[in-house]
Chain A
Amino acid sequence: MLLQQLTNGLTIGMIYALIALGYTMVYGILKIVNFAHGDIFMIGSFLGLFFMQEFRLPLYLAFLLAAAATAIIGILIERLAYRPLRMADRIVPLISALGVSTLLVSLAQKLWGTEMHPFPTAFGSRTYTFGNVTFSEIQILILVLSFVLMLALQLFVTRTKTGIAMRATSMSLTHAALMGINTNRMISLAFAIGSALASCAGIMVGIYYNAVYPTMGYMAGINAFTAAVLGGIGNIPGAMLGGVLLGLVETLGGAYISTQYKSVISFSILIIVLLVKPSGILGSKEINKV
């Protein structure tokens, strides 16, 4: 029972981690919380569904195309909704983010309706049992793909010239510019990567719960934001750790206390972290008010 719950918690935790990375990369560079990120996750899920339904594409192609399209949407959102406000007071892009969030939800409702859509794939229903833990196919996909994506991201930001330049940009926009780094391009790249990861998470969640709907980004977004804050917002390994921890705590709490308390648990964690250690587990000491 415990081992099974840990597996389930890890699965949802990996999803939170993937989404949290988008929050943390954007916050790291621009010091704004992209409150539309949960809805980018939702759009990514719908795009995966769209490519599979309309073009009968195989799942892996749906992943690739949806991730690419969502990355472009992420870049456009930054260009249109945040970049013109770069010099404005910090509260202004926050309001713009809420506007983008509403826009994306309304757009999805207009295009696909307000109801839940099942995911048109037979994939994911088969199960495998190891000892007394049962994995569904989709759980294995979530665990493996999330791990591979996060490993790839970690290698990118620590081993490549562009990745290190992106980290330098998140340490200081001004000093990165003085190195000859095109900081606007780094910001676009952070949005692209974050949005692509959210899209992959969205498709996997769509399959896992067999449901895609316009408001699915709301709770997922808040939970992932909590995960990012828990790990230390702005910190990439922190977002991964925060996501996994939150998934575990939430699932164990749901199993041993009551599933009714799932949201209570994640909001309590958010409030406690903000009160006790606002910089999060791996975050640096200095933290600005969001």
Chain B
Amino acid sequence: MTDGASKGKILEIDGLQVSYGAVQAVKQLNLDIGAGEIVALIGTNGSGKTTTLRSISGLVANTRGRIRFAGADITKLAPHRIVGLGISQVPEGRGIFPDLTVLENLRLGAYVRRDKAEIEADIRRMYRLFPRLEERKKQAAGTMSGGEQQMLAIARALMARPKLLLLDEPSMGLAPLVVKEIYAAIRQINQDGVSVLLVEQNAKMALGAAHRGYVMETGRIVVQGTAAELKSNDVVKSVYLGSTV
């Protein structure tokens, strides 16, 4: 389970195309994630990374191509069904419910589950992963700092007990120390057996944590390989690592 080199594929995207009106945001995208892997999807703003994540979660109507999860075709499924199958997303901008308390946010993360006792146990696990959430459990989520909100968003996504976790820019707008803390948690989550697709502009952080990576430019994958290969790739070095170091 925890072996990043495991051969079983948990997610396979074949020929994904997404258009918003006349604009093609994603053109012929192929991407796969092995069970137990952390895969990074890096690229600049507007390259189609977020659209790819939205497509996996079923939030985009006009998609062509095929998305398979654990062997099943999920391309045309409604978003809530996809969550039920085991894919959770931490969306861009965190997407916490600002007027609800931290605890209510966490409970909503487990909306698809019925096992009450296990849900309570998972809430305690989340408090161990991010102790600050326990201190603030009765507080409206919107009153917390950006880093705390990011922790809540990740914990909330885990409450569904996903097999695959999609993370959209988890480091965005956060102080370096907080980013370190978040990334330590992501590694921990992966070691507990959750596969991760990590979308980032911060290529250095993402490739530091990932087993493999894809580089996306204007709707296409332009480079792919293991994290080590990408870190030494000239294009990646000059465009993505040079500017972020």
Chain B residue at minimum C-beta to C-beta distance from A183: B80
Shortest distance from the beta carbon of B135 to any chain A beta carbon, whole Å = 22
State whether the Cβ of A281 lies closer than 8 Å to any Cβ in chain B. Answer: no
Interface membership of A161, Cβ < 8 A: yes
Q: Which of B104-133 contact A (CB under 8 A)?
A: 104, 107-109, 111-112
Q: Check A172–B107 contact: CB distance below 8 A.
A: no
Asked if B108 contacts A168 (CB within 8 A), the reply is: yes
B residues less than 8 Å from A177 (CB atoms): 57-59, 78-80, 83
Contact A165 B111, CB 8 Å, known A178-B79, A180-B160 = yes
Given the interface pairs A164-B100, A171-B99, A172-B97, the reply to whether A178 lies near B107 with Cβ below 8 Å is no
Q: Let me know if B84 and A178 touch, CB within 8 A.
A: no
Q: Is A174 an interface residue (CB 8 A)?
A: yes
In the complex, residue of chain A having the shortest beta-carbon distance to the beta carbon of B61: A87
Given A180-B112, A180-B160, verify A175-B97 contact (CB < 8 Å).
yes
Query: What interface size band does chain A fall in?
Result: 10 to 19
Determine whether B225 belongs to the interface, using a CB cutoff of 8 Å to chain A.
Answer: no
* Known A164-B107, A164-B108, A174-B59; contact A180-B99, beta-carbon cutoff 8 A: no
Q: Are A179 and B83 in contact (CB under 8 A)?
A: yes
A178 CA to B104 CA, complexed, in Å? 15
Nearest A residue to B59 via CB reads A174
Complex contacts, B104 vs chain A, CB 8 Å: 164
- Per-position 1/0 for A192-217, Cβ under 8 A of B: 00000000000000000000000000
Q: Note all chain A residues with C-beta closer than 8 A to B89.
A: 178
Q: Check A180–B111 contact: CB distance below 8 A.
A: yes
B contact face: mostly helix, strand, loop, or mixed: loop
B100 A174 Cβ-Cβ under 8 A: no
Query: Is residue B149 within 8 Å, beta carbon to beta carbon, of the partner chain?
Result: no
With A and B bound together, what is the CA distance between A174 and B89 in angstroms?
11
- Complex CA gap A175/B78 in Å reads 13
Bound together, the chains give a CA A161 to CA B109 distance in angstroms of 11
The interface centre, meaning the residue of A165, A167, A175 with most chain B CB atoms within 10 A of its CB, is A175
Convert A136-179 into 0s and 1s, putting 1 for each residue whose CB lies closer than 8 angstroms to a CB of B: 00000000000000000000000001001101100110110111
**Contact assessment for A171 and B80 in the assembled complex, using a CB-CB cutoff below 8 Å:** no
A181 to B100, CA, bound (A): 16
Residue pair A165, B95 in contact (C-beta under 8 Å) = no
Interface centre among A164, A171, A178, A182 (most CB of B within 10 A): A178
Q: What is the bound-complex CA distance between A181 and B83, given in angstroms?
A: 9
Least CB separation from B160: chain A residue: A180
Chain B's closest residue to A235 (CB) is: B99
Contact A172 B95 (CB under 8 A): yes
List the B side residues contacting A180 at CB < 8 Å: 80, 83-84, 111-112, 160
The answer on a CB contact under 8 Å between B83 and A178 is yes
On whether the beta carbons of B80 and A168 are closer than 8 Å, the reply is no
- Chain A residue nearest to B112 (CB atoms) is A180
B157-182 with Cβ < 8 A to chain A: 157, 160
How does the 8 Å CB contact mask read for B59-99 relative to A, with 1 for contact and 0 for none? 10100000000000000001110011000110100011111
The reply to whether A161 and B84 contact each other, CB–CB distance below 8 Å, is: no
Q: Which residue of A lies closest to B98 (CB)?
A: A171
Q: Which of B61, B79, B112 has the most CB of A within 10 A?
A: B79
| Assembled-state Cα–Cα distance A173/B166 (Å) | 18
Chain A nearest CB, measured from B1 CB (Å):
23
Given contacts A164-B108, A178-B79, A179-B160, 12 further A-B contacts (CB under 8 A): A164-B100, A167-B99, A168-B100, A171-B99, A175-B95, A177-B57, A178-B83, A179-B80, A180-B83, A180-B84, A180-B112, A181-B111
Chain A to chain B contacts (Cβ below 8 Å), 13 pairs: A87-B61, A164-B104, A168-B97, A171-B99, A172-B97, A174-B95, A178-B57, A178-B79, A179-B83, A179-B156, A180-B160, A182-B78, A182-B80
Q: Which residues of B contact A (CB under 8 A)?
A: 57-59, 61, 78-80, 83-84, 88-89, 91, 95-100, 104, 107-109, 111-112, 156-157, 160
Which 3 pairs between the two chains have the least Cβ-Cβ distance? A180-B83, A180-B112, A177-B79
